[in-house]
Amino acid sequence: MFTGGCEWLRSEGDDNDIVISSRIRLARNVAGFPFQTRASEQDRKAVCAAVAAAAAEVFDKKKYCCAAVDAFDELERAYLVERQLISRELSQSPGTRSALIDKKEQFCVMVNEEDHLRLCAMTGGFAPYKVWKRINDIDNKLESKLDYVFHRKYGYLTACPTNTGTGMRVSVMLHLPALVISKEIDKVFRSLQKVNLAVRGLYGEGTQPAGDFFQISNQQTLGKTEEELLEKISTMVPQIVNYERQAREYLLKERKEFLFDRCGRAEGLLKTARTIGTAETMHHLSSIRLGVNMKILDGIPLTVVNELFLNTQPAHLQKIQGKELTSSERDVVRADYIRRALSEV
């Protein structure tokens, strides 16, 4: 199971106080097979086999794992979802499907998700072009062995017309607590919507924002080149980053007591709590992350805060404990884990 890697979490990369990670996914389908809604089990198996065979030829076998999703138990699947290596849809949908995961967690390929292939690459901080180089290279390698469905007019055809064309979704995960506190976040959303960029929660489509994390991604996938789509995100994200920085400066200047109180209370609460749920944890960790980045709180490294966000998620906690836990047991274990992590720094 993947325990190291998770490059996107290491708080490296440009603007890492605000930009958590940059991800790109490409949707591809293999010629000769129907899309998922019409695929038989035989079709699904054949697609999985074709992708596995292509991957074995083009990737270094020592550097990735390829497995059927059903080979993982429910807890392991939830763990992979929390690490953003597979989607909830791939984890929960029926039928033969597989995942190919880079051991360094720099890329993954989901087979038989909404499309036959969903290639994803990710890195920490703001680096969409670096991720594009990585995913494009993976795409080229797989394409040298697989026949993708390609249409002269509509580009790479996908099961849902919302993804056709480049099949590319660039998403940047941002931590925007000051914009949430100062209630400016809605303005940001409205301006992003005007330029056709989508805002989603931590775990992508249909998820609620938690811990003041937001994913910004392109809606349009057709009629623009990959470079143009990258440029759009690359122009907009620094503007939001600046806006968040301004909001932080404003809070420091105009609402200093409130800000120090909020960060201090969050640290105090997490250092002493004996039982705590995921949502409350995310809320306070967000304040601690803000405090660390604004140098309000001393002595807590950003990597420790980032790791706490991940390791306090339900499946991660159970993995760390090595056993299944009920919700109330998890709350106790979570509080204990956080107390230890924060007292060790």
Partner 1 sequence: MKCQKCGKLATFHITELTNSKPVEHHLCEEHARDYLSNSSGSPEPVGNLAAMLSKGSPKPVSVGKAADELKELDQQTCPVCGMSFYEFRQTGRLGCPNDYDYFPKQLEALILNIHGETQHIGKVPKRAQKGTNRKTLLIKLRRDLEDAVLYEDYERAAVLRDKIKEMETECQI
Rounded to whole angstroms, how far apart are CA atoms 258 and 165?
Answer: 48
Based on CB atoms, which residue is closest to partner 1, 173 or 178?
173
Place of tokens 């420790």: 304
Contact letters for partner 1, residues 58-97 (x by CB under 8 A): ----------------------------------------
Based on CB atoms, which residue is closest to partner 1, 93 or 278?
93
Question: In the 8-state DSSP scheme, what is residue 151?
Answer: E
Contact positions with partner 1 (CB under 8 A) in 117-146 = 136, 139-140, 143-144
How far is residue 91 from each of residues 70, 81, 224, 239, 241, measured CA to CA in Å?
Answer: 9, 7, 31, 35, 33
Is residue 147 at the binding interface for partner 1, with CB under 8 A as the rule? Answer: yes
Rounded to whole angstroms, how far apart are CA atoms 138 and 109?
Answer: 10
In the set 7, 15, 17, 43, which binds partner 1 (CB under 8 A)?
43
Rounded to whole angstroms, how far apart are CA atoms 104 and 57?
Answer: 19
Is residue 148 at the binding interface for partner 1, with CB under 8 A as the rule? Answer: yes
Q: Do 275 and 335 form a contact (C-beta atoms < 8 A)?
A: yes
Nearest in space to 21 (alpha carbons), one of 120, 118, 151, 109? 120
CB of 198 to partner 1, least distance (A): 5
Rounded to whole angstroms, how far apart are CA atoms 249 and 247?
Answer: 5
CB of 205 to partner 1, least distance (A): 7
Based on CB atoms, which residue is closest to partner 1, 91 or 164?
164
Q: Tell me phi and psi for residue 333, to 5 degrees.
A: -60, -40
Based on CB atoms, which residue is closest to partner 1, 89 or 280?
89
Task: Tell me which stretch binds partner 1 (CB under 8 A): 69-77, 214-222, 313-321, 322-330.
Answer: 214-222
Sheet holding 168-175, edge to edge: 64-68, 98-102, 107-111, 117-124, 19-28, 168-175, 213-218, 197-200
Q: Report the interhelical angle of 302-311 vs 278-293 (nearest 10°).
A: 170
In the set 62, 94, 153, 327, which binds partner 1 (CB under 8 A)?
153
Is residue 203 at the binding interface for partner 1, with CB under 8 A as the rule? Answer: no
Classify burial at 74, counting beta carbons within 10 Å of its beta carbon; exposed 0-12, middle 13-18, buried 19 or more.
exposed
Based on CB atoms, which residue is closest to partner 1, 4 or 223?
223
Q: How many residues bind partner 1 (CB under 8 A)?
A: 55
Nearest in space to 171 (alpha carbons), one of 218, 131, 203? 218
Contact positions with partner 1 (CB under 8 A) in 18-37 = 29, 31-37
Is residue 53 at the binding interface for partner 1, with CB under 8 A as the rule? Answer: no
Task: Tell me which stretch binds partner 1 (CB under 8 A): 215-223, 250-258, 262-270, 329-337.
Answer: 215-223
CB of 28 to partner 1, least distance (A): 9
Binding site for partner 1 (CB under 8 A): 29, 31-38, 40, 42-43, 46, 50, 114, 136, 139-140, 143-144, 147-157, 159-162, 164-166, 168, 193-194, 196, 198-200, 205-206, 219-226
